[in-house]
Structures are given as structure tokens and as C-alpha cells.
Amino acid sequence: MRPTRTRDFTMKKKFSYLALCVISLLLLSCASAPRSFVKATGGGTWNSILLREDLSFEKAFNEVLDVCAKRFEMDMISKDGGYGRTNWIYTWNVNGQYTKNYRTRVIFKFSADRTKVDIKTEAEFGGEHNWIIGWDTRLLETIKQDVMGAVGRTVL
């Protein structure tokens, strides 16, 4: 009779461990996205900033690039095309700590007539092979304000 009790105890222990693993996985998979995340197909929408009239395209491009490069590593830069895109960063909403389930990046492009720059943010939540596409409102407002301060027109 004794071996049965030991086997029952071992089975209960295994079941408890299995239940704990399943609950842990469920809790991790149900982690919520940051409040600033907006789910949207195709990423965010473009936001336009009119450039100051006294600013050359060369100077404006370098200023916008500098704003983005202070927070992100650049992935693609085309001065001739007036385009730039940052790499994904995994630390935007966690105060510099790496997270696997949320990433953001910034894209900018200048208009053909070089009178404005369009900016958008992209964000993805979920993790590898499970990304939900969207954009980050807090990042957009931060980058937009920084770019407006560097190259935007001021309203008097």
C-alpha cells in the first residue's frame, strides 16, 4: 500500500507543477500593451510639420536626423530621397529596460518640394512571431514636438 501513496503524492506534485506552468504561461501571454499603443494595420498615420522658410533642406534634414538619432539607432537614411527610418527599439516604455514584447520605431520623409516633413511612429506588441501592428501615441507626440522645435514654423 505504501508505494501507492508515494505514487499519488508524486502525481499530485507533477500536476501542481504542470498547473503552475500553464498559469504562468497564460499570465505572460495576457500581458497588456502600453496605454500609448494603438492597434492599426499599416502602422501609424503621417503627421506633417511645415518647415521654417529660412531653413535649407540640408539643414532641415540634418536637424530631423539628429532628433531621431538621439533616441534611436538609424536603420535607413536617404538624404537624396528625404527619407529616414530608425531601427526597432525594445526599451521605449520601460525606462531603458529591454522588453521582448513591445517595440517602436520612427519614420520621416520630406515632401518633394521640401517645404514639410512627415513623421510617423510604428509600434508592435506581442513578441516574436505574434506581433500586433500599430503605433505609439506618446512616442509620436515626443518626436513631433522635438522636430517642430528644431525645424518647424512658429505661430505668432
Q: Where in the sequence is the domain holding 95, given as residue range(s)?
A: 34-151
Task: State if pTM tops 0.85.
Answer: no
104-135 pLDDT per residue, tens: 999 999 999 999 999 999 999 998 889 999 99
Kindly state whether residues 39 and 24 are assigned to the same domain: no
2-26 pLDDT per residue, tens: 555 656 656 666 655 554 444 444 3
Kindly state whether residues 85 and 64 are assigned to the same domain: yes
Q: How many helices (H) and strands (E) does the chain have?
A: 3, 7
Phi and psi at 153, nearest 5°, equal: -70, 145
Kindly state whether residues 101 and 45 are assigned to the same domain: yes
Q: Are 33 and 130 in contact (CB under 8 A)?
A: no
Q: How many domains does the chain have?
A: 2
77-106 pLDDT per residue, tens: 999 999 999 999 999 877 778 889 999 999
What is the C-alpha to C-alpha distance for residues 3 and 24, in angstroms, rounded to an integer? 31
